[in-house]
């Protein structure tokens, strides 16, 4: 029997980083807020994605950095301690306990409601509690869906269910290093987990259906990452995919479409993401269960009258990255508060209630060796969008700061310039430690800083950041009709 409804100004379904930030914004505006969560407060990023994956990848990167410089190289005599790496990973995910996150939510004044929440008509959320009961919540102003995404497994791969494959969750939370690991997928999860487990002692084979890794980024990024993985010992195979899998005891056999087969203790399928909306009750408000949610720039869901339903983070498919979800949460929280309090919305290009950064200025770091850091449009994307561009490349190893950072530093930088306005549309760096260069590029792209002003942002010498000067010089010296 459903209990009497509890009223709130705002109900947020999903207490990952996106939901937490949205609830924090609505509470800061003085709106009573319920935060509904069916698993651990803190969500995918805190326990099965960003935090554990980077905790696994950092020790190999630190060891590689020490070995890249004469003097420190001679002091490094041992291998990674896999047990210590896994123990450090466990500490960063709080041993899969959410006490600290629960305390943070309480500090905001939001009410945490444990259980599986689903829409039950306009402004109504029915929560199935862990005890098996139900609790009805109603929202005076808004319901925000922040339920994220889940790993998507191929539905037509024979033997899959019996093979018990890893998804990103198992790959980041495994308790021991498998002797052999087959990774399927050349996106971010695939390349990062291949790098991490190879460094920890597994024999890793990476299978990529297409012709290159990281296909959404500049082609040279995937090429350099593939070279780095191969140098580390990963068997990288492109243009191949599994046709069947079979587990017998501790060993899974993967049959490939080129006639070969592989045997391993574990199989990781990193083949895409799907929205966690199949049990959200979307049909009760006229939407399709199980699909991605389309939103406007305030993150209000399209097709639902009244501006009361919002979707932020992965679930709206604008940019499946934690930092973008948190950004959307701040935008959506501000928009909900403005509408609730009768204030005008600022929805222009630079408005406080418009998630414009999702359109053409999304930053991303791939924590492989070498790292990849990119923001904005690739050259191909920019040309496809109709821009007349000039592509400027520079070898990072020729920058004095990079040469000091690592002996025989290998890397590359690219900026994509809109020739009509002479502003940057995109920037990509590949090389050791380039993630720390990314925010400067993000500011330049988002701020649409003209090239003639970037000349006056003087980089410190000798740092890797001097790459900016070299890129600008290369742009200045390029033939006036140069474009790709």
Listing DSSP states for 305-320 in one string gives TTS-EEE-SGGG-S--
Beta-strand pair 33-37/111-114: parallel
Query: In this predicted model, what pLDDT tens digit does every residue of 319-362 receive, in sequence order?
Result: 999 999 999 999 999 999 999 999 888 776 556 788 888 888 99
| H helices, E strands: number in the chain | 16, 21
Which among 182, 228, 207 is positioned nearest to 57, based on CA atoms?
228
Tell me which residue has tokens 């990119």. 374
Distances in Å between the alpha carbon of 163 and those of 99, 158, 207, 265, 468?
34, 9, 17, 10, 49
CA 97 to chain centre: 22
Q: What tokens does 241 get?
A: 């995919």
Domains of the chain (ranges; CATH) run: 6-42+98-150+274-357 (3.50.50.60), 160-271 (3.50.50.60), 370-477 (3.30.390.30)
**Residue 426: beta bridge partners?**
376, 416
State the 10-residue block means of pLDDT for the chain, 484 residues long.
Answer: 80 98 98 98 97 98 96 94 98 98 97 98 97 96 98 93 96 98 98 98 97 96 98 98 96 97 98 96 96 96 95 97 97 96 76 84 96 98 97 97 95 98 98 97 96 96 97 89 49
For 198, residues 6+ apart whose C-beta sits below 8 A from its C-beta are: 204, 229, 232, 233, 234
Count of other CB atoms within 10 angstroms of residue 80: 15
The Cα 307–Cα 291 span in angstroms is 19
For 288, residues 6+ apart whose C-beta sits below 8 A from its C-beta are: 282
The Cα 245–Cα 161 span in angstroms is 9
The Cα 335–Cα 247 span in angstroms is 50
pLDDT of residue 333: 97
Cβ density class 320-340: b for 16+ within 10 Å, e for less: bbbbbbbbbbbbbbbbbbbbb
For 272, residues 6+ apart whose C-beta sits below 8 A from its C-beta are: 151, 152, 185, 187
CA 306 to chain centre: 31
As a 3-state breakdown, the chain gives helix, strand, coil percent values, each rounded to 5, of 35, 25, 40
Q: What predicted TM-score, i.e. pTM, was given to this entire model?
A: 0.94
pLDDT of residue 343: 87
Give the length of the chain.
484
pLDDT of residue 484: 46
The DSSP 8-state label assigned to residue 118 in this structure reads E
The Cα 271–Cα 209 span in angstroms is 10
Torsions phi, psi for 475 (to 5 deg)? -65, -45
- Say if CB 303 and CB 291 are below 8 A apart: no
SS3 11: strand
For 85, residues 6+ apart whose C-beta sits below 8 A from its C-beta are: 55, 56, 59, 200
CA atoms within 13 A on the CB side of 133: 9
Rg (CA), the chain: 24
Which among 484, 454, 418, 147 is positioned nearest to 309, based on CA atoms?
147
- Say if CB 96 and CB 15 are below 8 A apart: no
């Amino acid at each position: 029997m459903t209990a009497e409804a509890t009223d709130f100004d705002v109900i947020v379904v999903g207490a990952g980083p996106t939901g937490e930030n949205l609830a924090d914004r609505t509470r800061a505006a003085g709106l009573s807020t319920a935060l509904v969560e069916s698993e651990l407060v803190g969500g995918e990023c805190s326990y099965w994605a960003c935090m554990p994956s980077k905790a696994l990848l950092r020790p190999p990167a630190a060891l590689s950095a020490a070995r890249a410089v004469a003097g420190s190289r001679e002091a490094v005599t041992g291998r990674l301690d896999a047990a210590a790496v896994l123990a450090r990973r466990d500490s960063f995910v709080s041993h899969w306990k959410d006490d600290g996150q629960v305390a943070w939510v309480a500090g905001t004044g939001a009410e945490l409601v444990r259980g599986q929440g689903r829409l039950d008509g306009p402004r109504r959320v029915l929560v199935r509690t862990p005890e098996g009961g139900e609790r009805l919540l109603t929202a005076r102003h808004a319901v925000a869906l922040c339920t994220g995404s889940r790993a998507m497994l191929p539905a037509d791969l024979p033997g899959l269910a019996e093979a018990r494959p890893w998804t990103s969750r198992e790959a980041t939370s495994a308790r021991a290093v498998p002797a052999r690991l087959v990774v399927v997928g050349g996106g971010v999860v695939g390349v990062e987990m291949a790098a991490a487990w190879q460094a920890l002692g597994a024999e890793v084979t990476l299978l990529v259906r297409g012709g290159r890794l990281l296909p959404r980024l500049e082609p040279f990024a995937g090429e350099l990452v593939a070279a780095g993985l191969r140098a580390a010992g990963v068997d990288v195979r492109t243009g191949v995919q599994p046709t069947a899998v079979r587990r017998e005891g501790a060993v899974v056999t993967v049959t490939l479409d080129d006639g070969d087969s592989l045997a391993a203790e574990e199989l990781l399928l990193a083949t895409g993401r799907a929205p966690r909306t199949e049990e959200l009750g979307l049909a009760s408000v006229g939407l399709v269960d199980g699909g991605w949610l389309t939103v406007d720039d305030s993150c209000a869901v399209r097709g639902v009258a009244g501006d009361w339903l919002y979707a932020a983070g992965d679930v709206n498919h604008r940019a499946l990255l934690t930092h973008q979800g948190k950004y959307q949460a701040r935008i959506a929280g501000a928009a909900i508060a403005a509408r609730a309090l009768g204030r005008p919305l600022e929805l222009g290009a630079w408005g406080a209630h418009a998630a414009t950064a999702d359109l053409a200025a999304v930053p991303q770091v791939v924590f492989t060796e070498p790292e990849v850091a990119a923001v904005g449009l690739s050259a191909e994307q920019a040309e496809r969008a109709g821009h007349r561009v000039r592509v400027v490349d520079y070898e990072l190893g020729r920058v004095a700061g990079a040469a000091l950072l690592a002996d025989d530093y290998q890397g590359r930088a690219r900026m994509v310039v809109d020739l009509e306005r002479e502003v940057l549309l995109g920037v990509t760096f590949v090389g050791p430690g380039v993630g720390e260069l990314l925010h400067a590029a993000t500011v330049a792209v988002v701020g649409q800083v003209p090239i003639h002003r970037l000349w006056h942002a003087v980089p410190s010498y000798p740092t890797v950041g001097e790459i900016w000067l070299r890129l600008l010089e290369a742009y200045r010296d390029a033939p006036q009709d140069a474009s790709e």
